[in-house]
Amino acid sequence: MKAWMCVPVILLALAGCAGKTAYRDSCGTQLDAAWKELDLAKAEGFAGTVSYSKALSLLTGAKTQQQFEAFEGCSNKAEKARFYIRESRAGR
């Protein structure tokens, strides 16, 4: 195989790595914010709501995805969890 033929393979591999880490910061930021918001909701007495339970479940899944470096899914789940936390705090 000629050296110039390896260039597309290398570029494709690098693009895959960049895509995998694109959501890394978002995942961490969303998770941190969501856990803090969940703690506030619990302190305010909303821990028994359905929305709170959904948020907790989503955050557990997001944390698992973070550990397996599935950062896009982690970010999406944490964002959804934050929605349910807001719903919980609103009494829904």
d(CA 31, CA 82): 9
- Please tell me the pTM assigned to this model: 0.76
How confident is the model at residue 47, as a pLDDT? 87
How confident is the model at residue 92, as a pLDDT? 82
Asked whether the beta carbons of 88 and 51 are under 8 A apart, the reply is yes
How confident is the model at residue 90, as a pLDDT? 87
Nearest to 59 by CA among 41, 40, 85: 85
In the chain (92 residues long), the average pLDDT of successive 10-residue segments reads 49 51 91 96 90 96 96 97 93 82
Asked whether the beta carbons of 60 and 73 are under 8 A apart, the reply is no
